[in-house]
Amino acid sequence: MGGGPAGASLGAYLAGAGVRVALFDSGSKPDLVVGESLVPAVVGFLRKLGIEEEVASYSTLKPGATFTMPRNQEEMHFRFDEVRKAQITYSYNVPRDRLDASIRDAAVRAGAALFSERARVERAGQGDRVRLSDDTLEQTGGFLTEQPDLVVDASGRSRSISRLLDLPTEAGPRRDTALHAHMEGVELSREGHVHSSILERGWSWRIPLPGRVSVGIVIPSEFLATFGDTLEAQYDAYLRYDPVARGWSEHAKRITQVFKYTNYQLRSVRGVGPNWALVGDAFGFIDPVFSSGMLVGLDSAFELSRVVLDGSEHAFARYERHVLRHLGNWYHAVGHFYDGRLFTLFRVGNFMRQTLLGGLMEPHFLTHLPRVFTGEATHRRYSVGLLNFMCEYGLARNDPAELAVR
């Protein structure tokens, strides 16, 4: 249920392995979707699907990321080809409508049956089993003549099965609103880099795409509401109000309407049931700041495809633990960004590398810490543990509050 990147890639893997797959995609998506900037680890999944060359043809090459810290507007440039022992040293900024279409087409080529309808799911009895509605089965024109063995919820933040079964969730501490549009004339300091800036309140992203720049502002909801009654009024007024945003948007022109996202930092506690599973954003979404959502979705789809082919209850339980751990690792990394510990650690590192001890330790840190954010080490307990340890105990008594996101 859902033909976005997670659902469609799962369909491609399973259909390619000979599984009978019905993929429901109503096509009712907003024109702009969060998830336009990909971390390098995503490239590996594009290769598995056989679509990297196609995606590269309509995307912007992404060689790294640039972060602008608060107060003195110090910039930190992060190049993927400088990451020690990195397996993939680049990525892409993608028009999401075209990426989604490329993955759907890969699923169809693999043999999945695509139905341009919204699937409806119902409870099956009093327990936690689910079933597709009769009219959903009829919409397949005989492809599904009976209930499927497994129903996968890839409906994104609609969270169809979670809402139906009232599954428990865990929410993060942030209560932000993200407003998102495309603009022309936005200033960028590094070609192809995704730019993230700490604002007076909240933070912003700038993602260079062919012929335009995706600009998002993530602001505490109650504060953003003071800037106008419409999304466009709030978005335009805040870009004029904030001194950091004004510096790179003063001569920019918005060329799309503004889209709003609010249900960030939400994850289900359960991801599998008697005859169902959750994948991608339907399982959980942490935050847009490190572009982790697409990676979590594609990684969970690949892992779930292996589990379905295994078929054992143990394999499904392993999948649930895998995704919960992945979401939890990103949750902690995002927390270090918001509370200022991550940027404080970067500053301390810049000083320490000039000392004898720091110079000796630097290769070790550069092997593990950056690869958490490229996605190659977010499953490695040591790498993630080292990041958390250093953000807690490696700040050399510097107060992280100075670099925190308000």
For the range 113-118, what are the long-range contacts, defined as Cβ-Cβ under 8 Å and sequence gap of 24 or more?
113/21, 113/22, 113/23, 113/140, 113/143, 114/3, 114/23, 114/25, 115/22, 115/23, 115/24, 115/25, 115/139, 115/140, 115/143, 116/25, 116/26, 116/27, 117/24, 117/26, 118/24, 118/26, 118/28
Distance CA 299, CA 42 (A): 8
The strand pairing partners of 261, in sequence order, are: 178
* pLDDT of 172 higher than 90: no
Predicted confidence at residue 263, as pLDDT, reads: 61
Residues contacting 399, CB < 8 A, separation 6+: 344
* pLDDT of 82 higher than 80: yes
Predicted confidence at residue 360, as pLDDT, reads: 80
Q: How many CA atoms lie within 13 A of 276 on its CB side?
A: 29
Binned at pLDDT 50, 70 and 90, residue 43 comes out as very high
Predicted confidence at residue 173, as pLDDT, reads: 87
Distance CA 259, CA 279 (A): 24
Percentage above 90 pLDDT, the chain:
81
**All structural domains of the chain:** 5-59+94-171+267-331 (3.50.50.60), 176-261 (3.30.9.100), 340-403 (no CATH)
Predicted confidence at residue 202, as pLDDT, reads: 93
How large is the average pLDDT for residues 46-68? 97
Q: Tell me how far the alpha carbon of residue 218 is from its chain's centroid.
A: 15
pLDDT tens-place string over residues 320-331: 999 999 999 999
CB 206 within 8 A of CB 188: yes
CB 161 within 8 A of CB 275: no
How large is the average pLDDT for residues 239-252? 93
pTM of this prediction exceeds 0.85? yes
Q: Specify the amino acid at residue 95.
A: P
